[in-house]
Amino acid sequence: MLPKLPTLDYVGVEGAKALVRVDFNVPLDSEGRILDDTRIVAHVPTIKDLVERGCAVTLITHQGRPGEEGFTQLHAHAEVLARYLGVEIKFVEDVIGPTALAEVGRLRKGEVLLLDNVRLVSEELVEAPPEVHARSILVRKLAPLFDLFVFDAFATAHRSQPSIVGFPMVLKSVVGRVMEREVDALHRIADESQSPRVFVLGGAKVADTLKIVENLTKNKVADRVLTTGLVALVFHAARGGRVSEHVLKVLEGRGLLTLVPRARKLLLSGAPVDVPVDYIVLKDDGTVDECPASSVTGTPLDVGTYTVQMYAELLKEAKLVVMRGPAGYIEDPRFRSGTEALLSAALRSGAFVVVGGGHLGAMLGSTRRDRVHISTGGGALLTALAGEELPAVRALVESAKRFLNWET
């Protein structure tokens, strides 16, 4: 799905002045306190590696979007990183102004500097080709101060903004450990020797998921696609037969009936799609019940017992499992059991398991597991699985050709 990219092991980085694009965009509470530091922790191996090789490391990242509640400066992020990295993190309330440039210039080997939220620079919100962003003020101000650009922010790889695609056009560039693991996982997904490859697809982004199924079917990547949630309801309607009024009401209320012909076309083209045989539903009187898919009498909010058993049997034989999106409305504990059971079945299978971050990643927690990859980037993973180009990868490939004589 992605070309091979040069890593920290490919080039000599010892003693380099390195600019590292990380992704510290984390959930915050109403007072700006960090609720989940998983994304910050994920970058520690990359930063530690560079520090141990005597690099002067400058970090650049974003947090939130202007005008939204999560848009803030990065004081707290620097404190969290220092705690996990075990070294002092210098922080400057500036990105490309005189103070930032002076701090970068004073940085010594083995020291780490975090610049402030890159979205304080308005052009960072502009989407444009790498060649255009190479001429941005952000890149023109910072790039001359560095020998090396390290891209480690997979979660931003589907964006085409200056801090993501501009620097590779003017600096020798490699990928960090987070990006390296994400690319390796995507290569594994595309590897035919990993068959049977089973995808468990749910969540609320139905149109995006249909795009994934279209790509998987076209390129014969998936042996089975086990659908859950709203995605499954769309495929139920596409199959015809007995579709309850409750299901049609849910789809109509979400504006999803227009996607039914698209799902039907996929089924007719031979897409290996399975749908649940039963659901756990919330009835109109507020009670919870379990009923067959053909006669749903309430709002379906989780997959039922027999569906879990059926899907678990298919997962047993898989060599690779990709899970994206929860199977139900997991915010309510009454509708978490299906997602928990499918995660458990995937982990027991012995397959290499790729989990699409977000709610599923949070349910697995921070404990490291063999043969499990928790993706850091929902949007980027979705884009890659849908067969679309990642702008960051395009820029990195071009950079590798220009500065490293790299051949993909």
pLDDT for the residue numbered 12? 86
Domain-located, residue 10: no
pLDDT for the residue numbered 159? 96
Instruction: State whether 224 and 371 are in the same domain.
Output: yes
pLDDT for the residue numbered 191? 92
Instruction: Using DSSP bridges, classify how beta strands 17-21 and 148-151 pair: parallel, antiparallel or unpaired.
Output: parallel
Domain-located, residue 98: yes
Domain that holds residue 134: 17-178+389-404
pLDDT band of 366, cuts 50, 70, 90: low
Q: Measured between alpha carbons, how far is residue 379 from residues 91, 122, 388 in Å?
A: 29, 22, 11
Q: What are the pLDDT digits (tens) for 158-182?
A: 999 999 999 999 999 999 999 999 9
Instruction: State whether 188 and 151 are in the same domain.
Output: no
Q: What are the pLDDT digits (tens) for 184-208?
A: 999 999 999 999 999 999 988 899 9
pLDDT for the residue numbered 382? 86
Instruction: State whether 113 and 187 are in the same domain.
Output: no
The answer to whether 228 and 202 are in contact (CB under 8 A) is yes
Instruction: State whether 29 and 168 are in the same domain.
Output: yes
Q: What are the pLDDT digits (tens) for 205-236?
A: 899 999 999 999 999 999 999 999 999 999 99
pLDDT for the residue numbered 248? 87
Q: Report phi then psi at 99, rounded to 5.
A: -65, -45
The answer to whether 189 and 158 are in contact (CB under 8 A) is no
Burial letters 373-400, b for 16+ CB under 10 A, else e: bbbbbbbbbbbbbbeeebbbbbbbbbbb
Domain-located, residue 4: no
Instruction: State whether 399 and 337 are in the same domain.
Output: no
Reported pTM: 0.91
Domain-located, residue 308: yes
Domain-located, residue 222: yes
Instruction: State whether 174 and 188 are in the same domain.
Output: no
pLDDT for the residue numbered 296? 87
Q: What are the pLDDT digits (tens) for 266-312?
A: 999 999 999 999 999 999 899 999 999 988 888 999 999 999 999 99
pLDDT for the residue numbered 192? 92
Q: Give the position of tokens 């380099």.
A: 16
d(CA 360, CA 358): 6
**Mean pLDDT on 131-135:** 97
pLDDT for the residue numbered 368? 63
Cis geometry, peptide bond prior to residue 196 (ω within 30 degrees of 0): yes
Q: Using only the alpha carbons of the chain, give its radius of gyration.
A: 23
Instruction: State whether 308 and 191 are in the same domain.
Output: yes
Instruction: Please state the domain count of the chain.
Output: 2
Domain-located, residue 346: yes
pLDDT for the residue numbered 1? 62
Instruction: State whether 160 and 196 are in the same domain.
Output: no
pLDDT for the residue numbered 2? 80
Range with the poorest average pLDDT among 55-69, 187-201, 364-378, 389-403: 364-378
407 vs 337, higher pLDDT: 337
**Mean pLDDT on 97-112:** 97
Closest CA to 222 of 386, 342, 359: 386
- Continuous H helices in 191-319: 206-218, 229-239, 245-253, 260-268, 305-316
Q: What is the CATH number of the domain that holds 149?
A: 3.40.50.1260
Domain-located, residue 292: yes
Q: Measured between alpha carbons, how far is residue 312 from residues 1, 5, 271, 279, 321 in Å?
A: 27, 35, 20, 16, 11
Instruction: State whether 169 and 191 are in the same domain.
Output: no
Instruction: State whether 216 and 168 are in the same domain.
Output: no
pLDDT exceeds cutoff 70 at 408: no
Instruction: State whether 53 and 168 are in the same domain.
Output: yes
Closest CA to 318 of 226, 399, 187: 226
Instruction: State whether 147 and 208 are in the same domain.
Output: no
Domain-located, residue 7: no
